[in-house]
A and B are shown apart, each in its own frame.
Chain A
Amino acid sequence: MKDIRHDDSPFYGIWRSQLYKGLAEMALLALLRQGARYGLDMLKALREDAGMDVSEGSIYPILHRLAKAGFVAADWRHDAGATHPRKYYALTDTGRATLASMEREWADLAANLHALIGSSTS
């Protein structure tokens, strides 16, 4: 019988992609809590610090939506030493409040899921 590796299956791939997509907004808002950042910098942080497998093309449409929703504000800055301007995103007050709600929701969900997974595997 063939050994089915779930991490290779199309279903697992779609589920994982949807999971990351759903969490990307919260992760991006969380990255901006300490101050304004630009796209490439945030992409690196998501990949390297959060271990999220997000594509280059996914981050800007999300930032655009967050900006339209009023959660972030953007402005172009020319950093010292940089050869070109960068578009920085900063958290707005509305974004900060929404982030707090998202984090509470996530903490509750994660705790409940941990309990569920723990009880079903023990």
Chain B
Amino acid sequence: MNDSDLPPEIRKYLMELRWSLTTLPNSDCESIVEELRAHMYEAIAQGQSASALVAGFGSPALYAREYVEAYTLSAGIARAATIPLMSVLLSRLTRSFTNAFFGLSIFLLGCGGVALALLAVAKVFTPDRIGLWLGTGVFVVGSISQESAGGAREVLGYGFIPAALLAAALCLLLARALVLGWARRSVQNSEIRK
């Protein structure tokens, strides 16, 4: 099969599709493009117009997205790589309530973890202002001013640092577990249907 036998519109489409699939392993990318080329070659030979064919497949980037997302999910789960999995989750946030729920939970846990880690560091520099403050009607983790402290007092002292770091690690580990759980769930669902 020779690409020069295909209309320019289709050659351009296949080229753009290959570009959009570059994150996939080369053999997978070639297999997908090759199958589409075979389809288009035969459809053109049967009299279908190039423009109708291209329109039927949608934009190359959109067509490639499902393959790329599926690969990113599988590879991300295998390597337990949360950043690429998060990128897929972000792109799918608005597709379902479940995705939005997972996304919001992971975001809150991530922010909480980072905030607790920063507080642990800040405790070193401003030990009198940072800590776990308890009092009548007062429960504050972090910084508190003398005016708003009322009768509250800081109860952990420098023990706040390991406690905050432990809590931060737990938040981030839970966020990571949620990302992986969401990805596994998505892969299981997409194996049956999308």
Contact = CB atoms under 8 A, between A and B. Distances in A.
B193 A84 contact: no
B67 interface: yes
Nearest to A84: B1
Interface in A10-52: 21-22, 25, 38-40
Nearest to B48: A56
Interface of A: 21-22, 25, 38-40, 55-57, 60-61, 64-65, 68-69, 83-87
B1 A55 contact: no
Nearest to B31: A87
A87 B35 CA distance: 7
B43 A40 contact: yes
Contacts of A68: 70, 191
A22 B67 contact: no
B193 A22 contact: yes
Contacts of B67: 61, 64
A18 to B, nearest CB: 10
Nearest to B1: A84
A56 B193 contact: no
Contacts of B193: 21-22, 25, 65
A38 B42 CA distance: 11
Interface size for chain B: under 10, 10 to 19, 20 to 34, or 35 or more residues? 20 to 34
Interface of B: 1, 32, 34-36, 38-39, 41-43, 45, 53, 56-58, 63, 66-67, 70, 190-194
Contacts of A64: 32, 67, 70
Contacts of B190: 65
B32 A65 contact: no
A55 B39 CA distance: 13
Contacts of A21: 193-194
A55 B58 contact: yes
A36 to B, nearest CB: 14
Contacts of B41: 83-84
A88 to B, nearest CB: 11
A83 B45 contact: yes
Contacts of B57: 55-57
A84 B38 contact: yes
Contacts of A56: 39, 43, 53, 56-57
Contacts of B194: 21, 61, 65
Given A56-B57, A83-B45, A25 B39 contact: no
Contacts of B192: 25, 65, 69
